[in-house]
Amino acid sequence: MKNKLSSLINPRSVALIGATERSGSVGSGLVENLWSGRHKRKLFWVNPNLKEIKGERTYHSILEITEPIDLAVVAVPAEVVPQVVQEAVSKKVGSIIVISAGFAETDSAGRQRQDEIVNLTRRSGIPLLGPNCLGLLRPPIELNASFAPFNPPSGGIAFISQSGALMNSVIDRSGLENYGFSLLISYGNGADVSLVDLLWLADRDQSTKVIAIYLEGLDEGREFMEAAREISSRKPIIILKAGRTELGQRAASSHTASLAGSDQVYQAAFKQSGVFSASSLEELFDWAKALEWLPRIENGLAILTNGGGMGVLATDQAVDQGLLMPELSEATRNRLQKSDSFAEETIFKNPLDIIGDADTERYRQAIETLLTQSDVHSLVVIQTKQTMTNIQENMEVIAQAAQRWPKKALISVCLPGRLSQMGIKWLEEQRIPNYSDPVRALRAARVLTN
């Protein structure tokens, strides 16, 4: 399977079986999303009840199409899927995505239908993604073979999810949180193409820098651990495991026909495989953003703040995360004390509180001096909005420092608001993450630490 998935993520031609322009339907969502990439590949619509879609011919069957088809996307009622898959197999398509639900996640009849289509595709050697899935997206090549709400931004995060609805919410959120994707794949029941197959796919994808996964359960634990152990040495893997409780496991089983199992077993497997285990969606993408944008570093953190309370919160979290906070060296303290920028009451220690009236020049001197110290490998810069705080100018100072010290990790903490949101957006366009809470920032700093 490892080498058979190129047609799935890089198709030159796509046939949508179940295409329609009926408003609000899955088929119309797929039409619109595929249509957005029409200049990149050939598209074919299949629906026996329509003559044309988007002004183009609609075929009664995929077998009527005379040209080769790399990818067949199936969005028809479950009871029709076996016949449609049989026709796609006869057409010798490169790969198949079954969007339709109504298979092993429902009842024994659904399980039988699922077994039938998998037997068809495996005998012919054609990879099948799904059933019961959202589909897939590959933003760098403008491929959207899904019914996602819109095309998300391109970036370096591959997101693999058992839940299609959750993936839709993540796509919606990405515009606000400034993370972009190399791949988004919803694999639903995982009847044929599995999580392990998709891990190898993301590993080979040159656009992917970080792999983020939403997981409900798997039935190939040993293969997963072997793949994750090897891949995580090259690309970070972060997993959000759902179904930690007995009730959650029952919900997972009825949702995607997944095999849940003991959370302790999963967590032990993740640890042995070098996988990061997130506890929330927010954490999953906080970490993914940091791991995509920032260097991996040694343990050594400095905290800079213009508000004492925020500095205390950050310090507590640094200790909780096992992050070392080196004392400021004599050379660092001397350089800070010689500056005219700091208030007389400033205490030169780590965390460094430069007082609420800190202007941009004070931030600049503090940032540059702290980063000069050799055992400071990461710096969390906190801004609380005071009358004299110029968020935009301070963000520019942070970005300049990041360019000067590319092997050190700079992380911003600034609560988004009316006066700060433009500066935050600008900073993240420079690929420096901002977090609204020091707890989020320090947890992100921890995953960067070797």
**Residue 188: CB partners within 8 Å, gap ≥ 6?**
101, 105, 129, 130, 131, 132, 133, 134, 162, 164, 256
> What b/e sequence results for 114-148 when a residue is b if at least 16 CB atoms lie within 10 Å of its CB, and e otherwise?
beebbebbeebebbbbbbbbbbbbbbbebbbbbbb
CATH topology of domain 295-448: Rossmann fold (3.40.50)
Domain 6-291 maps to which CATH number in 3.50.50.60, 3.10.180.10, 3.40.50.261, 3.30.70.260? 3.40.50.261
Distances (CA, A) of 58 to 17, 90, 189: 10, 19, 29
The yes-or-no answer to whether 6-291 and 295-448 have a common fold is: yes
pLDDT value of position 294: 98
Q: How does pLDDT run along the chain (450 residues), one tens digit per residue?
A: 656 799 999 999 999 999 999 999 999 999 999 999 999 999 999 999 999 999 999 999 999 999 999 999 999 999 999 999 999 999 999 999 999 999 999 999 999 999 999 999 999 999 999 999 999 999 999 999 999 999 999 999 999 999 999 999 999 999 888 899 999 999 999 999 999 999 999 999 999 999 999 999 888 889 999 999 999 999 999 999 997 656 555 555 544 544 455 788 889 999 999 999 999 999 999 999 999 999 999 999 999 999 999 999 999 999 999 999 999 999 999 999 999 999 989 999 999 999 999 999 999 999 999 999 999 999 999 999 998 899 999 999 999 999 999 999 999 999 988 889 999 999 999 999 999 999 999 999 999 998
Burial class (CB in 10 A: 0-12, 13-18, 19+), 1: middle
Task: Report which of 215, 254, 223 is spatially closest to residue 111, judged by C-alpha positions.
Answer: 254
- Alpha-carbon span 26 to 22, nearest angstrom: 9
Backbone angles phi, psi at 147, to 5 degrees: -110, 40
Radius of gyration (Cα) for the chain, nearest Å? Answer: 25
Q: Domain ranges in the chain?
A: 6-291, 295-448
Nearest 10 degrees: Cα torsion 317, 320, 326, 327: 70
Q: pTM value?
A: 0.93
- Alpha-carbon span 414 to 395, nearest angstrom: 10
pLDDT value of position 259: 47
- Alpha-carbon span 405 to 407, nearest angstrom: 6
- Tokens representing 174 are 């990405």
Backbone angles phi, psi at 83, to 5 degrees: -65, -45
pLDDT value of position 176: 83
